[in-house]
Structure 1
Amino acid sequence: MSSPSPQRARTVAIAGLIGTTIEWYDFFIYGTAAALVFAPQFFPGASPVAGSLAALSTFAIGFVARPVGGALMGHFGDRVGRRRMLVASLLVMGIGTLLIGLLPTYAAIGVAAPVLLVVLRFAQGVGVGGEWGGATLLALEHAPPGRRTLYSAFPQMGLPLGIVLASLVFLVVRLSVDDAAFAAWGWRIPFLLSALLVAFGLVLRLRLDESPQFVRVRREDRVRRSPLTDVLRGPRTLLPAAGINIAASGLANVLLVFTLTYVAARGLADPSTMLAVTVVTALVWAGVIPLAAVWAERRGRRPVILTGVALLTAWAFPYFWLIDTGGLAAIVVACVVTGIGVAIASGPYGAHVAEAFPTAVRYSGSSIAYAIGGVLGGALAPLVATALFATTGNGTAISAYVVALGLVSLAATLALRSPHPATAAEQQEEVSGDVLSAP
């Protein structure tokens, strides 16, 4: 089978970027709403701290569901194809998001409201759990030799661009209506707009070709009966692959979710200002990702990831020192440097982790690794940060927690062996029966 043309490879990468942007928009509008309005709407009567913890816990459920989505869609992605699972993930995410926008509050239907909110948030997590691996692999496996890191970085850009889109929509809605109207119905608008974005994303994805490497695996009858089982038999690859993402995911969600609550509780900045800062940060983040990928193509993926994780670890204390000043310029610097660190760590991450797994189990392996890192980092970070802030009243303990996450990711990055195979070498490895090579 001939390799895809450069034009086709670029089309797949850009389609992956657009699709992941839509999925992360859906995922993060929930996080913004959880920080701003869900506590009184779905958990009334609780203390401010308890209400915030309850709302952020429903945010975390989306991360807990991601391994489920990664395992489910990874299994079928390795058995029936990447493209079909990308369509399925977008449908699951889109329907869940739309239904959240239509969900009655606690005042209307009582305890059923938070229960349904949890169920729908779980569905969002399942959707995004299958999204990242499929989009990354389709771009990676269509990419020309020597450009796999850059092409697989396009879906990584969808995360910050989804944040930009979610923040801008929330910012426009907040500025268009008063506080009472926003709390009553305005927060629903970003969720309902998702239906239009999902329809657009589905049109794009239905036009994509299947991964040529997966087609080859299927043609040569090398499809695994249980790819997830094969992945779990190689913990020396899976565990460090998951650990790399812990620091970037954790600090990114402290930045995107907890900081909104933190600055509001301390009166450091109003929510609209913080949403604007988030937009600026995410734009810088998105812009640095392809630069980090190009850097990794020249210098190696592992050194670049180590640089990003080291920056995040070193920045943990300065981040809150700057936030605590309450000055707009200081807050912008704190957030933008964090975004740069996350971008450097995540630019080469998709290719580095995906190519630690052979093609026949790559969707399962990379999806599960990414999802586990998201749970241990991104899901827990806003909850731990909220609890530490409630106990200490400042950001020092939170910074120490972020440093601990950074040390875990540094160790995982050093431990993971990603072979970065050329196609011919990869085929030979798989034909010989080596499902997972030990690091």
Structure 2
Amino acid sequence: MSRVAPDVIYALFTVFSITYGTQKLGFERSEVLTAILVGSACQLGLIPLAGAVSDRINRRLVYGVAAVGGVAWSAIFFLVIGGGSLPLLILGVVVGLAFHSFMYGPQAAFVTEQFSVRLRSTGSSLAYTIAGVFGGAMAPLIFVYLLDRTDSWVPIAGYIVIVGAVTLVGLALGRNPDPTEDEHYVLLGQEREKATRAAESEV
């Protein structure tokens, strides 16, 4: 659940913005791609920064604040770019992808922390795959469908509010990391290794 909003918001600013910008606002495709390139370049620094911040502050808090900001900015974005200004388009995409960065940066750690060490690989892999299908994979199709049916960005913003709420529920239901669980697993592994070496020495 927590992965849905980041995927949908990313699809908005990197995929659907091309369709909306060129077909509805008259931007050249190269102009929209330039805005996406600038926003993506900023993410190269922002995603590691977000991960580092989430290591020092409650991970769910950083993720949740970014989710709320990303949802709110998604609506503001359509208002900002409505005048057809390229600098505002670039600004809108950069800010949108900045909010995405502060969800994506903590995401891997948050998802893996939801599973015990024994189930971590399988659980996190399934979570990523399922959320990717219902989030980022379907979002561009839903955006285009809503735009074709209503000729307005308002239903799209409403859809993003819904997925944002889903993500916040997922964050609320998630658990905080338990370092003792990892430490116990490491100690158990060390004990098994010692036992194996002792058995090998007796042979």
Taking structure 1 as the reference length, the TM-score comes to 0.41
1:321 CA drift (Å):
1.1
1:427 CA drift (Å):
4.4
Which residue is equivalent to 2:199?
none
Kindly report the root-mean-square deviation, in angstroms, between the aligned alpha carbons of the 2 structures. Answer: 1.8
**Structure-to-structure mapping, 1:33-182, within 5 angstroms:** none
Label 1:267 to 1:313 Cα distance change in 2 as closer, same or farther (>3 A): closer
- Is 1:376 matched with 2:159? no
Q: Report which structure shows greater RCO (CA 8 Å, sep ≥6).
A: 2
Specify every segment of 5 or more residues in structure 1 that has no aligned partner in the other structure, as ranges. 1-242, 431-439
Distance 1:277 1:245 in 2: 24
Find runs of 4+ consecutive structure 1 residues off by over 6 angstroms: none
Distance 2:107 2:188 in 1: 22
Distance 1:265 1:410 in 2: 32
- Is 1:338 matched with 2:96? yes
Distance 2:164 2:57 in 1: 22
Distance 1:425 1:332 in 2: 48
Tell me, what secondary structure is at the counterpart of 2:179? coil
Correspondent of 2:55 among 292, 297, 307: 297
Amino acid at match of 2:58: G
Q: Is the 8 A contact 1:356 1:420 kept in 2?
A: no
1:416 CA drift (Å):
0.6
Specify every segment of 5 or more residues in structure 2 that has no aligned partner in the other structure, as ranges. 190-203
1:336 CA drift (Å):
0.9
- Is 1:425 matched with 2:169? no
Correspondent of 1:321 among 73, 79, 97: 79
Label 1:418 to 1:353 Cα distance change in 2 as closer, same or farther (>3 A): farther
Distance 2:77 2:188 in 1: 45
Distance 1:426 1:302 in 2: 24
Amino acid at match of 1:272: S
Distance 1:269 1:429 in 2: 60
Which residue is equivalent to 1:143?
none
Amino acid at match of 1:381: A
1:286 CA drift (Å):
2.4
Distance 2:26 2:88 in 1: 11
Amino acid at match of 1:385: F
Distance 1:300 1:380 in 2: 30
Label 1:320 to 1:267 Cα distance change in 2 as closer, same or farther (>3 A): closer
Correspondent of 2:64 among 306, 313, 321: 306
Which residue is equivalent to 1:251?
9
Label 1:345 to 1:429 Cα distance change in 2 as closer, same or farther (>3 A): farther
- Is 1:412 matched with 2:170? yes
1:394 CA drift (Å):
2.1
Tell me, what secondary structure is at the counterpart of 2:26? coil
> Percent same amino acid among aligned pairs?
30
Distance 2:143 2:65 in 1: 24
Correspondent of 2:146 among 382, 388, 391: 388
Correspondent of 2:43 among 271, 285, 288: 285
1:429 CA drift (Å):
9.0
Amino acid at match of 2:78: F
1:428 CA drift (Å):
6.6
Which residue is equivalent to 2:24?
266
Distance 2:83 2:3 in 1: 29
Q: How many residues align?
A: 188
Distance 2:25 2:77 in 1: 17
Amino acid at match of 1:313: V
Which residue is equivalent to 1:367?
125
Which residue is equivalent to 1:398?
156
Distance 1:339 1:349 in 2: 15
1:316 CA drift (Å):
2.2
1:284 CA drift (Å):
1.3
Taking structure 2 as the reference length, the TM-score comes to 0.86
